[in-house]
Amino acid sequence: MRKRILASFFGAVSLFCAWLILAEIVRLPIIPSPLLVVEKISEIFCGTIAVHGMYSLGRIIAGLLLAVGVGLPVGVLMGWSRRADRLLAPLVYLTYPVPKIALLPIVMLLFGLGDGSKTIMLFLILVFQVVIAVRDSIRAIPEEVFYPLASLGAGFRVILCEVLLPASLPKFMTAIRVAMATAISVLFFTETFGTQYGMGYFIMDAWLRVNYLEMYSGIVVLSAMGLFLFGVLDCAERYFCRWQGRE
């Protein structure tokens, strides 16, 4: 763990130095010095960026909760019941490859320009990954794993809690992590419409005002938010899936 933290720290310092060198060489307003950006962040974080950041984070969490709330039961149902899988699999496979960003105009028409459409976009990106990961994990559980519980006359609720959910957790966490990167990109895009709050709005607004320092501040904070979310997911996976072990 300490090695990982050291490696991350070393990576961040290297990136910072590379940026600093590039800024010194180019000497253009479009690539400001990172020192000036850090100064700007400390200046406007509490009053401005934090508010936009909270809006974005709130949308991500809402989309994630909605995706888990819908995706987890559907995935369990498809993994557990062959009949449910036969009914739902064609629907999932037909809609899964559609680039979700292409659905943005429809989602905006249906759910308006506000938070609803943004949350729905995040939901659409995350939900398919959750459904497929959970379904595949449950179908991969060897039959023998159920025997000791079945011989005890355990009902579905016990099997769900003791076997299905823990067995699907590692793939579920991976799916969320993979989809999260796309979700943040799409969130950025959706926040450039119909809102005055969110990191997407803040960055684009700063760009239009030709305030490059603020724009870079937004980019740095958005990246930090992504890093934070990955860190949280990583920690959660390390704790809840520690039974798997790591080399």
Residues that bind other proteins (CB under 8 A): 144-145, 147-154, 158, 162-163, 166-167, 169, 241-245
What letter would DSSP give residue 143? G
Give the span between the Cα atoms of 73 and 68, in whole angstroms.
8
Give the span between the Cα atoms of 196 and 202, in whole angstroms.
8
Instruction: Name the one residue in this structure whose structure tokens are 């308006």.
Output: 112
Q: How far is the CB of 50 from other proteins (least distance, A)?
A: 38
Residues 6 or more apart whose Cβ sits within 8 Å of residue 78: 84, 85, 88, 89, 92, 131, 134, 135
Burial grade of 153 (CB within 10 A; 0-12, 13-18, 19 or more): exposed
Q: How far is the CB of 176 from other proteins (least distance, A)?
A: 18
Q: Which is nearer to other proteins, 78 or 164 (CB)?
A: 164
Give the span between the Cα atoms of 136 and 141, in whole angstroms.
9
Give the span between the Cα atoms of 115 and 108, in whole angstroms.
10
Instruction: Name the one residue in this structure whose structure tokens are 């926040």.
Output: 191
Q: Which is nearer to other proteins, 4 or 242 (CB)?
A: 242
What letter would DSSP give residue 9? H
Look up residue 60 and give its two tokens.
């991500």
Q: How far is the CB of 161 from other proteins (least distance, A)?
A: 10
Q: How far is the CB of 239 from other proteins (least distance, A)?
A: 12
Q: How far is the CB of 64 from other proteins (least distance, A)?
A: 23
